[in-house]
Structure 1
Amino acid sequence: MYVREPDEKDRALAALREAISTREPSLVRHGLDVLAKAGDGRSTSKVTPLEAVDLLERACTYGPRASAQAVWEYFQGDFVYTGWALALALRCANEDVARWLLGLGVDLLGAVRQPKALRALLPHEGSFTRFDLVRESPTLFLNNMDHTVSTEVFDNFSGTEQIIGKPYAVPTSLRASCKLVGTLASEGLFDAVVFDDLFRACVVKAWHALRHARDRDPKTAQTCLALAKHLLKLHRERDLGDGNVRLIMGNLIVPKADPDIMAFVCLEMPDVFLGRLRALSWLQEDTELICRMVPTLSPATEQDNAALLLVLARSGLMGELKAIASWPDTFTTANLPAAVEAASVAGHAEVATWLLARLEAVREADGAVPTAASVRLGDATAAIPTRRQPGKPATGGTAQEALPPAGTKGKDTPRPVSAVPTDGSREAAGTVALDRAGVNPADAVERGVDGAAQLAIQIVELARSEIVSQNPFLAGPFSLLTLAPTRGATSALAVDGQTLSFNVDQLIQDFVTRRAAPAHDMAHALVHCLLLHPFVGTTVGREAWSLAADVAAEKVVCELLGPREGERGRQQRAVFDRLCGELHGEITAERLYRVLAGGAYAPMRDEWAELFGADDHAGWYPSDDEAHPGDVGHDQQGTSDDAGTTAQASRTQSHAGWGDDRPKTCESGPSDHQGSPAKDDRAVNDRASGGATDAGADTPASPAQPSPPEVIAQKGSDSKRRWLRAAKSMRTDLETLSRRYGTKAQSFVKMLDVSAHEQIDYREFLRQFAVSGEQLRLSDSEFDYIFYTYGLELYKDTPLIEPLEYRDERRIRDFAIVIDTSSSITPKVVQQFVNTTFDVLTSESSFFERTNIHIIQADAQVQSDTTISSLAELDHWRRNIRLRGFGGTDFRPAFRHVRKLMEDGEFDDLRGLIYFTDGWGIYPERMPPYKTTFVFYDEDHRPELVPAWAMQITLHPGEFESMSVY
C-alpha cells in the first residue's frame, strides 16, 4: 500500500500543533511563520479547511487567548466552522478565549459556511460538526437526548476531538465549565436558542449521571442541576431563552427516569409535571413515583391540580391527599366529583367518603347543599349518602357511621354497619342500594325490590368495596356480574358466570349475626368465574368438580383476603397443607378433579364440601331436560367416532378439558372411549350423596343425544369469552403494573395462566408435521359419479370412467420424538404419552407406508436413538419401552444430535420435533430449521422460559387418551 511521504507543509503543521500544546504564544507565532514559508510566504493555499479548523480548535482548547488570536489572524478569520472551537473553550473553562470568540460573533450552534478562499475541496460538513445537531437542524429540541454542539461543552475528552493529526486532551473540571456557562449566560452573551440548548445539555448530563444504579454519579448530577437551576432563574426573572425550556423539562419525564430528575422538575416547574400527569397514562399508574413527588410539588392551575387529585383518589393515597389538602384551586366543586367517582370505582371507600365530605363542605361554603352525590361503582351507579339539607328529609339514604365490624383487623375501608333497620325501617333504606344494583327506583315495586332487598344489595356492595380496597385489580371483573336478589334459595350466594344471585333474608341474617359483610364468600364466587369454573360440559362429574372448584377458589381467597377466621380457617389450612404434599404442586381445580374423579378422598368429600363451600353451583350444570332432551336413555360406552366427537365438543365448551368423572386408562386410546363398567360404578359410588343417583350428571352423554339448546350454549359461550378476556387481562396486570399485588397472589396468577390455556386438538396439532404425497388409495373426492353411472346405464355393465387409484394426501414421513428421561419423569407417564401419540397417529392414517421416525431418549445427554421405519416397528417399540438416563435435564444435547443427523443425511425432509418433558431444564437459544413443540405432562412448569419459537402443549396424566388436550 502506497503511503505519501510527509512534505514540508505536513512537517510544519505537525510542529505548529506541538507549539499550540505548549501554551506559549511565541512558539505558536513561530510555528505559523514556518507554515507560511512552507506555503510560499503567507499564502494559505496549501492548507485545507480541515487543517485550519483543527488548528483553531486546538488553540481554543489549550489557550491562552493570544495563541488562538494568532491562529485566527493568520487565516484572517476565514474558517469553515467555529462552533466546536467555542464549545471546547467552554469545556476547558478558558474564559478569556470564550469571551473573545463570542465577541467575534462565533455561534455555538452555527452551521458550516463556505470559506472566502477555497483552499481545497470542502469535505462533508459532518467532518466539522461531528454530525452534532446545529441551529439549522429541523429536529433541534424534539428529543432531549439528541447530540448537539452544546453537548460537547459538558463532555470529557474522548480522544476523537482531533480532525487532523494526533489526538489531544487537557484536564477539565465540570464545575468550572458550568460556572463559566452560568456567568456568560447571566451577562446575556448567549442568544435564546443557544441558551435553551445549553440548558438542555446540562440537564441531560445530569439525567445520564443518574440513569444506571451501578454507575450513579450524584456529584456530576448535582453540579449540572445547579447550573440548570441558575439558568431557570434567569429564564423566569429576565426572560432569557424561550418556550423550549418548558418542552425540555417535560421531556425529562420518561419511564424509569431517576426520581431525583423527576423531583427537579417538580420543584422548578410543578405545572410541567402536573401537565404531563394529565397526558401520560404510565405516569398516572406509577403511584410509587407520584407518592415520592407529592412533597416536592406546589399548586398550579385548577385543571393541573385536578389531574393529581384524580390520580391520588384512584390510587387510594389518603396520606398524599391530606398533604395537598391546603392547596388552592384543588378541592373545588369542579374537581371533587370526579375524584369521588374515581375512588369509588377503585374501591377506596374511605378515600371516597373523605373526599365527599370535602365536597359537601365546599358546597356548603358556596351556599349549595345537595342531598346525595352520585358516583359509579364498576358499571353500576351508586349513591353515597350525604348530609341532608336542614329541615328536609334525606332522599339519598340514612346516615351511617363508619365503624368496623367485629372480628376485622387492619382494614382500610370503613364499613357502614349501623344498627340493621327493622322491618318498619327497611323501606327507608333509600335508593342507594337500588342505584348500586342498576335498578330504577321507580320500577322497584313492579320488580319486587323491597326494602329488605335494598339492604341486602347494600351488604353485597359493602363486601365488594372491602374486596376491591385490598385488591384493586378485581374492580373490573365485578362489573361482569349482574346482581339478582332472590328469596328461598338454599344458599346465600350463587353464581353462574353471568348473574350473582343472593338470598335476601339469609344474607341479612348472616350480616346481623357476624356483623361483617360476606367478603370471603363474594371473593369465592368471583374467583370461580375468573378461573372459568362455571363453564363445564354435560359430561362433567358434578360432585367432584364442585368440590375441586371450591377448594381451588378458597385457596385463592386465602391469598387475596387472608384465611378465614376461627376453626374453619384452621381446618382449611390443614387440608391445603395435605393436598399440596400429596398432589406435589399447586392445588388447581383441574388437578384435584382428576384425583377426585379417580375415587380418592371419598371419606372426606362430604366434610370438605361443607368446609370449602360458599355458594351454590346449580347454575353451572344444565338440567336433565336440557342435557338430555327427549328423556332418551344414555349409552354408557358409546361408539368410537361419535364418542370422540362428543368428547371434543364437550371439552370445547367446558374449561380445561373437563371430561366425565370416570378414571380412564391409557390403553383404551383416543379412538375408543370405552371405560370399564366396574370402574364406572366405583367412581359413582365414591361420590357424595346426591350425585350417585343422577345418572345423567356423572356419566357421559350418549353420542346420539344432542347438546343443550343452541341459545343456552351461545349465552354460556359469550360469558366464558368475557371471563377469559378478563382473566388474561388481570394476569398481565398482576405481572406488570400491579406486581406488588401479584407477589401475594402467586397461586392465583398461576391458576389464571392454567385457566387461560386454549384447547388444542392433538390430532390437528400432529397434522402440522405432514407433507403431501401420493397414496395407493381410491380418491372419492376427485371421482365424478355422473359419468360413472351414465356409462352403466348406457352400456349396462361398462362405466365410462374408473375411479382414481391414487390420491394426494398429507402424511408424516420424517419425524423426531425426544423423551425426557431425567429423574423427574416416571416410566408410567412416558408410557401414557407414547400410547396416546401412537393411537392418535394410527387412528388417523397419519404416516406413509415407509416412515423415518427417530425416537430419542435424553436427560442431560442423549441416551439412545431408535429409528422406526414402519408403524409395526413403532407398535413393537412402544410395547417394550426401556428407558435410559434418569439424570439431570438439558434439552440442548438432543437438538445438537438432531442437527448432526440432518447433516449426515438421515432426514430427507424433517418436518418437526416433539419434546416430551416436565419443563424443568435448559432450553436451546437458537431456533432450529424445523417445527418444535414441547409437550408438558402437567401445569407444574414455567411457560415463560420456553423459547418464543417453540410451541407449548400441556397433556395431563389423567387425560392422555383424550383427543383434545390443552
Structure 2
Amino acid sequence: MTNIEQSNEKRQRSQAVTQTEWEQYMAEKILRLIRHELYMDFRYMDVALSALSYQPKEGIDTLGTEGDHLFYSADHLLRVYPKNPVYLNRCYLHMILHLIFCHPWLQGSRNAADWDLACDIMIEYLIDHMEQTSVQRITGLLRRKVYKRLESVGQALSAAIIYEQIRLWYEFDLAELSKEFYTDTHAFWPRPQPEQAIPVQIPPKWDKLARQTQMQMERQGRNDGDEERLMLKQIRVLQQRRSYRDFLRKFASLRETLQIDPEEFDLSYYTYGLRIYGNLPLIEPMETKETLQVETFVVVIDTSYSTNGELVKKFLQLTADLLLESVELSGKCRIHILQCDDKVRQDDVVTSKEELAQTLQRFTLTEGGSTDFRPAFRYVDQLMQSGQIRHLQGLLYFTDGKGIYPAKRPEYKTAFIFAQDYEEEAVPPWAMRIRIDHEEIMEGK
C-alpha cells in the first residue's frame, strides 16, 4: 500500500469516527430536548426524567432501559425526530413511567410476553388520557375498544389487573395488541430465573424516585385529572407493596432469654483466665441473649364467600414458614388462627412448631356470610380480659377488604393484609396495611 493510499485510509477512518461522534452528539441533544419538553408539562417528574444516563446502543429501533441507562440508537433518533417528535416524547415518558411503577422488577412468575403487554397497555392508557400537548395524539379504534373493555372491569387499573384480564380476552388477538401498544423495548429488563429463590428486587433508587414523584404531585395538587388520580393511586399501591417477610418481622418482639450468648465474649481471654487462675475466668459470658420471639400472635382469616380457599391455605403456609424462619418459637409461644366472617367460626391455637405443622395439615376453610371485622377484635379483647392471651404482639387480618372496620383503635398492633387492590380511604388510619400479590402468596416468596 502506497503512502497516499495509507493517508486516504486514515482520513476516511477519521471521518467515520467523526461522523459517529456527531450522530451521537445530535442524538443526545434530541434526548435533552425531549426531556426538557416533558419537564415543562410534567414538572412533578423532574428528578425521574433526569435519572438515566444516555448510552448509545446500535441494533435497537426504539428506546430502552434497565433502570440506570437510557439506551438509544442515534440513527433511529435522527430519522424519527424531524418527522414525529411527539412519538419520541411519548416513548421517553412511557419508559420513565415503567420505572416509576417499577414494572421491570415486578414480573415474578408471570408470563413475560403477557406481562410486557399488560405494562405497555397500562402506561399507554395513562398517556392517552393526558391532555398535555407534548404527548397528545389521536387514539385509534383498537385502543378505544381495549380501554372500554378495561373500564368495564370495575377495578382500579394496574399492570397486575390488566395482566389477569388480557388472558381472558378471547375477542382480541394478543399479537395484534402487542404490536399496537409496543413503544419501548423491554429487552434490557431483568428477568426472574426459575432457579432463583429470591425474586428480582426493586432498586432503592426507583423506590425513592416513586416516593418523590408522589410527594411532588401531592405538593403541586396534581390530582385534578383522571389520569393524574390514577397515576397517584398506582404509586401509592406501589409504596404499600413491601416484602411480607420484612413486614411480619415487625410483629416479632425483641426480648431477652436466659441462654449463653457465645458471640458476646472473647473465648481466648475466658480460657486464659481458667488456665492461669484455675476456676476464675477473666470474662464471664453474657447469660442473656436478645432474640426475635413471638409471645402471642393472632392471624385472622376472612372466610366470606369473596375469599378464595386455596389462597387462604397458601397464605397460612407462607405465614407459618416465615414465623418458623424469622422467630424462635419457644414453649411460651401461642399463635391463634381465627376464621371469621360476621362471627368467629374457628380458633386454632398452636404452641409449638409441631402443632403449627399439624394445624396447617388438617386446615379447612369454614365459609360463611358477609364480612364484619369487629367480631374478631371483640373476641380477642375477651381473651385478653380473661387472661387467655397475654403479651399480644400483634394481629394480622387477611381479607379482601370488603367489610366493616372497627371504629376504635385496639390496644395492640393491627395489620390488614390485602391480596388485591382495596379502597385505601376505608381502612382506619390506625391500622397498618400491606398489599401482597397472589404470586407472592402462591409461590411462598
TM-score between both structures, scaled by the size of structure 1: 0.38
- Once the two structures are TM-superposed, the CA of residue 749 in structure 1 deviates from its matched residue by 2.2
For 2:364 and 2:21, the matched residues in 1 are separated by 70
Partner of 1:861: 343
In structure 2, what residue type is equivalent to 1:856? L
Task: Determine if contact 2:217/2:232 at 8 Å carries over to the other structure.
Answer: yes
Partner of 2:127: 557
| SS of equivalent residue, structure 2 residue 376 | helix
Root-mean-square deviation over aligned CA pairs = 4.6
Q: How does 1:805-816 map to 2 (within 5 A)?
A: 809-816=291-298
| SS of equivalent residue, structure 1 residue 847 | coil
Task: Determine if contact 2:240/2:434 at 8 Å carries over to the other structure.
Answer: no
- Once the two structures are TM-superposed, the CA of residue 588 in structure 1 deviates from its matched residue by 2.7
For 1:944 and 1:769, the matched residues in 2 are separated by 28
| SS of equivalent residue, structure 1 residue 768 | coil
Partner of 1:774: 257
In structure 2, what residue type is equivalent to 1:492? T
Task: Determine if contact 2:126/2:227 at 8 Å carries over to the other structure.
Answer: no
Partner of 2:50: 480
1:955 and 2:436 matched? yes
Task: Determine if contact 1:487/1:503 at 8 Å carries over to the other structure.
Answer: yes
1:570 and 2:164 matched? no
For 1:856 and 1:515, the matched residues in 2 are separated by 59
CA 1:478–1:817 in structure 2 vs 1: closer, same or farther (change >3 Å)?
closer
| SS of equivalent residue, structure 1 residue 895 | helix
Given the alignment, which residue of 214, 239, 243 partners 1:728?
Answer: 214
Given the alignment, which residue of 750, 765, 780 partners 2:248?
Answer: 765
Given the alignment, which residue of 512, 520, 523 partners 2:90?
Answer: 520
1:945 and 2:426 matched? yes
For 2:128 and 2:69, the matched residues in 1 are separated by 24
| SS of equivalent residue, structure 1 residue 819 | strand
Partner of 2:100: 530
For 1:468 and 1:759, the matched residues in 2 are separated by 30
**How many pairs does the alignment contain?**
422
CA 1:737–1:760 in structure 2 vs 1: closer, same or farther (change >3 Å)?
same
- Once the two structures are TM-superposed, the CA of residue 852 in structure 1 deviates from its matched residue by 2.6
- Once the two structures are TM-superposed, the CA of residue 835 in structure 1 deviates from its matched residue by 0.4
| SS of equivalent residue, structure 2 residue 251 | helix
- Once the two structures are TM-superposed, the CA of residue 867 in structure 1 deviates from its matched residue by 2.9
For 1:564 and 1:446, the matched residues in 2 are separated by 34
For 1:530 and 1:549, the matched residues in 2 are separated by 12
Task: Determine if contact 2:241/2:434 at 8 Å carries over to the other structure.
Answer: no
In structure 1, what residue type is equivalent to 2:50? L
Given the alignment, which residue of 312, 331, 347 partners 1:830?
Answer: 312
- Once the two structures are TM-superposed, the CA of residue 806 in structure 1 deviates from its matched residue by 7.8
Partner of 2:3: none
- Once the two structures are TM-superposed, the CA of residue 894 in structure 1 deviates from its matched residue by 1.4
In structure 2, what residue type is equivalent to 1:902? M
In structure 1, what residue type is equivalent to 2:234? M
| SS of equivalent residue, structure 1 residue 935 | strand
For 2:404 and 2:397, the matched residues in 1 are separated by 13
| SS of equivalent residue, structure 1 residue 571 | helix
Partner of 2:26: 453
CA 1:928–1:607 in structure 2 vs 1: closer, same or farther (change >3 Å)?
same
CA 1:884–1:787 in structure 2 vs 1: closer, same or farther (change >3 Å)?
same
Partner of 2:357: 875
CA 1:766–1:604 in structure 2 vs 1: closer, same or farther (change >3 Å)?
farther
- Once the two structures are TM-superposed, the CA of residue 610 in structure 1 deviates from its matched residue by 2.6
1:914 and 2:396 matched? yes
Greater relative contact order (CA < 8 Å, ≥ 6 in sequence): 2
In structure 2, what residue type is equivalent to 1:729? M
CA 1:491–1:757 in structure 2 vs 1: closer, same or farther (change >3 Å)?
farther
Q: How does 1:765-804 map to 2 (within 5 A)?
A: 765-766=248-249, 768-770=251-253, 772=255, 774=257, 779-782=261-264, 785-786=267-268
Task: Determine if contact 2:24/2:56 at 8 Å carries over to the other structure.
Answer: no
| SS of equivalent residue, structure 1 residue 864 | strand
Task: Determine if contact 1:484/1:499 at 8 Å carries over to the other structure.
Answer: yes
Partner of 1:13: none
Task: Determine if contact 1:763/1:840 at 8 Å carries over to the other structure.
Answer: no
Partner of 2:222: 738
In structure 2, what residue type is equivalent to 1:959? E
CA 1:447–1:730 in structure 2 vs 1: closer, same or farther (change >3 Å)?
farther
In structure 2, what residue type is equivalent to 1:954? R
- Once the two structures are TM-superposed, the CA of residue 826 in structure 1 deviates from its matched residue by 0.9
1:549-602 deviation digits (Å, cap 9, x = unpaired): 323222222222599646xx43344445666778x8444335567999x9x99x
| SS of equivalent residue, structure 1 residue 831 | helix
Task: Determine if contact 1:771/1:813 at 8 Å carries over to the other structure.
Answer: no
Q: How does 1:138-287 map to 2 (within 5 A)?
A: none
- Once the two structures are TM-superposed, the CA of residue 484 in structure 1 deviates from its matched residue by 4.7
CA 1:494–1:476 in structure 2 vs 1: closer, same or farther (change >3 Å)?
same
| Structure 1, unaligned runs of 5 or more | 1-444, 628-633, 656-716
The answer to which of 488-497 and 829-838 deviates more is 488-497
CA 1:789–1:581 in structure 2 vs 1: closer, same or farther (change >3 Å)?
farther
Task: Determine if contact 1:822/1:889 at 8 Å carries over to the other structure.
Answer: yes
The structure where strand makes up a greater share of residues is 2
Given the alignment, which residue of 184, 189, 204 partners 1:615?
Answer: 184
- Once the two structures are TM-superposed, the CA of residue 730 in structure 1 deviates from its matched residue by 4.1
For 1:517 and 1:576, the matched residues in 2 are separated by 20
Task: Determine if contact 1:890/1:921 at 8 Å carries over to the other structure.
Answer: yes
Task: Determine if contact 2:262/2:285 at 8 Å carries over to the other structure.
Answer: yes
1:747 and 2:318 matched? no
For 1:767 and 1:846, the matched residues in 2 are separated by 14
In structure 2, what residue type is equivalent to 1:880? R
Partner of 2:13: none
CA 1:496–1:852 in structure 2 vs 1: closer, same or farther (change >3 Å)?
closer
1:428-487 deviation digits (Å, cap 9, x = unpaired): xxxxxxxxxxxxxxxxx8994469937x9569747964x667x54556356525685958
Identical counterparts, % of pairs: 26
CA 1:553–1:539 in structure 2 vs 1: closer, same or farther (change >3 Å)?
same
| SS of equivalent residue, structure 1 residue 849 | coil
- Once the two structures are TM-superposed, the CA of residue 838 in structure 1 deviates from its matched residue by 0.9
For 1:792 and 1:539, the matched residues in 2 are separated by 58
1:509-549 deviation digits (Å, cap 9, x = unpaired): 44565686544323312322322335689999865654443
1:768-800 deviation digits (Å, cap 9, x = unpaired): 33363536x6643356533675599899xx998
Task: Determine if contact 1:520/1:564 at 8 Å carries over to the other structure.
Answer: no
CA 1:863–1:963 in structure 2 vs 1: closer, same or farther (change >3 Å)?
closer
Task: Determine if contact 1:485/1:504 at 8 Å carries over to the other structure.
Answer: no
Task: Determine if contact 1:457/1:485 at 8 Å carries over to the other structure.
Answer: no
Partner of 2:8: none
Task: Determine if contact 1:524/1:554 at 8 Å carries over to the other structure.
Answer: yes
